[in-house]
Chain A
Amino acid sequence: MGSSSSNMDHIPDAQHLMQETGFSAAHLVRLYERFDFLDKDDRGELRLDDFEAVSELAMNPIGDRIIRAFFSPGRETVDFPSFVRILAHFRPTDTNRTRNGRNGAQPEPANSRTNKLKFAFQLYDQDRDGKISREELLQVLRAMLEMQVTEEQLQSIAERAIQEADLDLDDTISFDEFKKSLEKVDIEHKMSIRFLE
């Protein structure tokens, strides 16, 4: 722990980040190392190419979307706090409950069910208009199924999916509809990873 606290000094605004995201000091240190590693030319910020340098991501069909999710609109770079804030979506929900109880004031942590879903939603909603249009859904489907399915099949899958979720019949999926359609899915399970200390 001694070494990690010394490392903590490099991290800007560490205490605040810990409180905000719920990561422990050890987590932060580890994430900072990773951030540092990704940040090839030590700018203290990550650019698009830094992310793209992660070779495994190239194989991931929605890798580019995930990367883009790290960038807030209009920004070209990601600094460490936003990096951590994004990752905080993926913290398991459970331990948070107690933390949240303690802090009380914190409105909604990034790893709440709603925020997890919001993150997922935003992967589809590329134009950020709060709705998943057919075209946006199609793009995701195309990415995930491309080799195996013809365009027509994709069309009809997308159509069907929208039909299932679309409650107000506007041919798009709003966030509420999205949330509702995934009601039964165990989001806590499916959108959490174990962060190493």
Chain B
Amino acid sequence: MRRCGFVHLLGSVLLIGFVSSVSCEAALTGHESNHSEHEHGSSLSGIPIVTFKWHHVETPYLVALFILVSFLAKLVIEANHHVTNIIPESALLICFGFILGGIIWGADKVQTFTLTPTVFFFYLLPQVILDAGYSMPNKLFFSNMGAILVYAVIGTCWNAASLGLSLWGCHMGGAMGDLDIGLLQYLLFGSLIAAVDPVAVIAVFEQVHVNEVLFIMVFGESLLNDGVTVVLFNVFDAFVSLGGAKINAVEIIKGIISFFVVAFGGSLVGFVFGLLISLLTRCTKNIQIIEPGFVFVLGYLAYLTAEMLSLSAILSIVFCGMCCQKYINANMDENSVNTVRYAMKVFANGSETIIFVFLGISAIDKTLWVWNTGFILLTLLFVIVYRFIGVFFLTWILNKFRLVPLEVIDQVIMSYGGLRGAVAYGLAMMLDENKIKEKNLMVCTTLIVVYFTVIIQGITMKPLVTWLKVRRAAVSELTLIEKVQNKVFDHMLVAIEDISGQIGHNYMRDKWNYFEEKWMSKVLMKPSARKNRDRLFKVFHQLNLKDAMSYVAEGERRGSLEFIRNDHAYIDFKKKFDDDYYEEVMPDIMADMSDDHGEIRDPVPSVSLEMHEQNMKAVRDSEDVNTHHLLQQHLYRGRKQHRHRYSRSHFDVNKDEGEVQEVFQRTMRSRLESFKSAKMGVAPPKSLSKHPKKEQQQKMSNGKSLDKTRSYYSGDEDFEFSEGDSASGFNPSYNSMPMRVTYRAGAGIENLGFMPDLDSGPSVQLPRWLEDSSSVVPSQRAQVQLPWTPSSLRRLAPLRTSTRSTDSFMMADAPPNAQQIDLPPPPSPPTLLLLKFLV
């Protein structure tokens, strides 16, 4: 690994060296050839077959190359986990920037690549912020909104003012020699360096899993105070250009007013655009391919519009992302939502990488460096000290009003997490050299503060968090009971507030939820999407999905060895049903038998069914309903539910192996039990639904688009689990038959969790594996047994005492040739047939 990384590094360094030298030579030769072309242009003797037109593509080419190199750098860095565990990625990227900058400097003798404010604010920052807003855990954010605002607004103003004034004081005291900086300019400098940078903060905090309240505090603050700092910067910039003499009370008041107008105006613009996106995605059903594009384009427009109106662009795009997330996720097709998510991450993560590399490169520029020990060190000191003072003081006040006070340790981390970053640098670069003589010193100081905070504080953050024993976030996903309980808590608090006559936070939230439900959702959400987006429900599906995945994993682990090969069973099964039934149900239930049943002589298990009266009843009740649609409504979404932790580069996966195992085993056990109970006394189904055919058609129509995604999930094509259990069955043929539990919605073996509702919205295309997840066995013993009859429980009771381990429970449960739980190896012939058939 290390060697590979080294090779990559070497490769990319060489590439860069090569590129930069080529670029500079080419630029030169380009000019020359330009001349010669002009000279010879008229006397063109023939059509050149190939011409080398470097200057023609120079700029975009260099941009693309630069991006490529940054990404490669990230690739190398990420390949070395032992390094990134100690040093955060952002710091490493900056260091890479140093190297790269050195090479470029060596080649060009001048820094050709610098991060200009235009590039930064127009092309790099928006997507980062949009992503942050879009992935914002809204509930958490709004429940801590007050505190976040206090930190973001008052805290930032405090930082700016105290830093500016202190530096000015030190200047007056003669601590930094002869500098041409006035009070206003110090304040301007203070305002640009005051804000905690979201890019840097997230890059560090995403690796340190602090508890969610702390996280949202730092994260929310860093987002909002960027807006604040830009506003402050503009105000002071205006003051500086106005000149000290002309500033009077009126101007100051105007400044304060403009501060609020800019901040709230920006947020409002973002809000409006967010609503606009939500509305638009309501009606993009027919252009699904480009519907994700709307999100990005409108998000960017929100940014530009706010910028155009000289409002806070950052706040605008943050709120735009926050407003639209709920509605677009509900309105758009799952594919589009995924596209948005991934594309958002690609953009954000990409520009974050580029920003850090740029920050590194910028350091290697001789013209930039102006050293003034006093100024630089004092700035560094004040930045950190005032951050601590500010946080502690504000928290002290806030804690008087907070239900659960912030602990001292949390405050330390918050203060220490005050990383400065690219926004400060971008603002520093925007300083006007004509008005501020010491611009270079300021830029240089900003860079040093950025390096110090990102690299030094970034590296020490993790040990500090560990050392202080900061409450970490619970990494695991919510269990169903937790989710239920959370909901109960919500209702309970509202009720208690009602009874005790308090108008508090919960009351307000309840009212807002009501309003949101009644009006906003109605207007902004597709009617079909409004249904069944209950969160409790989602967790349920999420867990089911997890189960299903463990089944696959388990099957893969066991390989196909245990697979039961038994042709008789298959035939027996066929005999059981008359042809009509077969025609109608089989394709769906036993898709792998495929259209020409007779020919399947492959070793893989025929079919097994587990049918229960309960299930059949359920199906009968809801025959006409489009289960399929309901399924796609739920299944995937469940998985994405509840991601509080923001990460620009990762989607959370549940890592809690233990829990997965646990649930899996329990589920398997319960399945076995239910299977037994089925054989004990439940007759094979007699009634059929018309439904399967319909569903079948739907699948077919979807087939085309599904092809693309199939390859990833070929393993999921069939979640089949043989549970042949000869121990307790009565019917010999049934008995010897490998029981493959293939649940398919609408086919009689239902996952009751996915019971149909009366929603017949248009079918949306859905990736192969998702669709097939209708056959994912959701595995609850609830749905397969007769849960509420005590007798059945009693009968099952002894079984449940078996131990947890998969193997042993199998032993315990199933005598001689026990049941087997496994999967066919993914691309088995029947699977292929199944595919063919479905497509």
Contacts and interface: CB of A to CB of B under 8 A. Distances in A.
Interface of A: 30-31, 33-34, 37-38, 51, 54, 56-57, 59-63, 66-67, 70, 87, 90, 92-94, 120, 123, 134-135, 137, 140-141, 144-145, 148-150, 152-153, 155-161, 163-165, 169, 171, 173, 181-182, 184-185, 188-196
A62 B514 CA distance: 16
Contact of B484 (A33, A152, A161): A161
Interface in B423-478: 474, 476
A148 B534 CA distance: 8
A194 B77 CA distance: 48
Contacts of A184: 474, 476, 482
A155 B404 contact: no
A82 to B, nearest CB: 13
Contacts of A149: 532, 534, 537
A87 B757 CA distance: 40
Given A62-B495, A155-B783, A160 B540 contact: yes
15 contacts: A38-B499, A60-B494, A87-B496, A90-B496, A93-B404, A94-B405, A144-B484, A150-B756, A152-B618, A152-B755, A155-B783, A155-B788, A191-B493, A193-B506, A194-B502
Contact of B488 (A123, A169, A194): A123
Nearest to B802: A169
Contacts of A150: 622, 752, 755-757
Given A184-B476, A195-B500, A157 B783 contact: no
A182 B483 CA distance: 10
A120 B532 contact: no
User: What does DSSP make chain B's interface, helix, strand, loop or mixed?
Assistant: helix
Contact of B787 (A63, A67, A148, A159): A159
B672 to A, nearest CB: 14
Contacts of A160: 480, 540, 543, 780, 782
B489 interface: yes
Given A150-B622, A184-B476, A190-B486, 9 more contacts: A63-B491, A94-B404, A144-B487, A145-B534, A148-B537, A153-B755, A156-B778, A164-B663, A193-B504
Contact of A157 (B489, B495, B537): B537
A190 B484 CA distance: 13
B58 interface: no
Nearest to A92: B403
Nearest to A37: B501
A37 B663 CA distance: 50
B519 to A, nearest CB: 16
Nearest to A150: B755
A163 B501 contact: no
6 tightest A-B contacts by CB?
Answer: A159-B782, A152-B752, A34-B501, A66-B495, A156-B782, A190-B489
Given A54-B498, A157-B537, A163 B666 contact: yes
A10 B823 CA distance: 73
Nearest to B473: A184
A196 B502 contact: yes
Interface in B742-769: 750-757
Contact of B481 (A37, A59, A164): A164
Contacts of B486: 185, 190
Nearest to A27: B500
A180 to B, nearest CB: 10
Nearest to A143: B491
B731 interface: no
B492 A56 contact: no
Interface in B502-519: 502, 504-506, 510, 514
Given A57-B499, A62-B491, A90-B496, A155 B787 contact: yes
B485 interface: yes
Contact of A182 (B476, B482, B618): B482
A81 to B, nearest CB: 15
A66 B482 contact: no
A99 to B, nearest CB: 15
Given A94-B405, A144-B488, A153 B754 contact: yes
Interface residues of B, number: 63
B531 interface: yes
Given A156-B752, A193-B493, A165 B783 contact: no
B404 A66 contact: no
Given A140-B484, A157-B480, A165-B481, A189 B500 contact: no
A54 B754 CA distance: 37
B492 A191 contact: yes
Contacts of B565: none
B502 A195 contact: yes
A44 to B, nearest CB: 17
B498 A57 contact: yes
B232 to A, nearest CB: 32
A18 B387 CA distance: 40
A174 B417 CA distance: 43
Nearest to A56: B498
Given A120-B489, A148-B537, A134 B494 contact: no
B697 interface: no
Contacts of B663: 163-164
A23 to B, nearest CB: 11
B498 to A, nearest CB: 4
Interface string B780-802: 11110001100001000000110
A168 to B, nearest CB: 10
Given A57-B498, A164-B481, A193-B496, A134 B788 contact: yes
Interface in B384-433: 403-405
A163 to B, nearest CB: 6
Contacts of B489: 120, 190-191
A134 B787 contact: yes
Contacts of A158: 782
B338 interface: no
Contacts of A171: 793
Contacts of B750: 152
B156 interface: no
Given A161-B484, A165-B481, A148 B532 contact: yes
B497 interface: yes
A62 B488 contact: yes
B782 A155 contact: yes
Contact of A34 (B405, B500, B532, B800): B500
B808 interface: no
A185 B479 CA distance: 11
A92 B532 CA distance: 34
B495 A63 contact: yes
B403 A145 contact: no
B395 to A, nearest CB: 14
A90 to B, nearest CB: 5
Q: Which residue, of A34, A135, A149, A188, has the highest number of chain B Cβ atoms within 10 A?
A: A149
B536 A157 contact: yes
B783 A159 contact: yes
B485 A120 contact: yes
Contact of B404 (A59, A123, A192): A192
Contacts of A159: 780-783, 787
Q: Which residue, of A57, A59, A144, A160, has the highest number of chain B Cβ atoms within 10 A?
A: A160
B670 interface: yes
Nearest to B211: A186
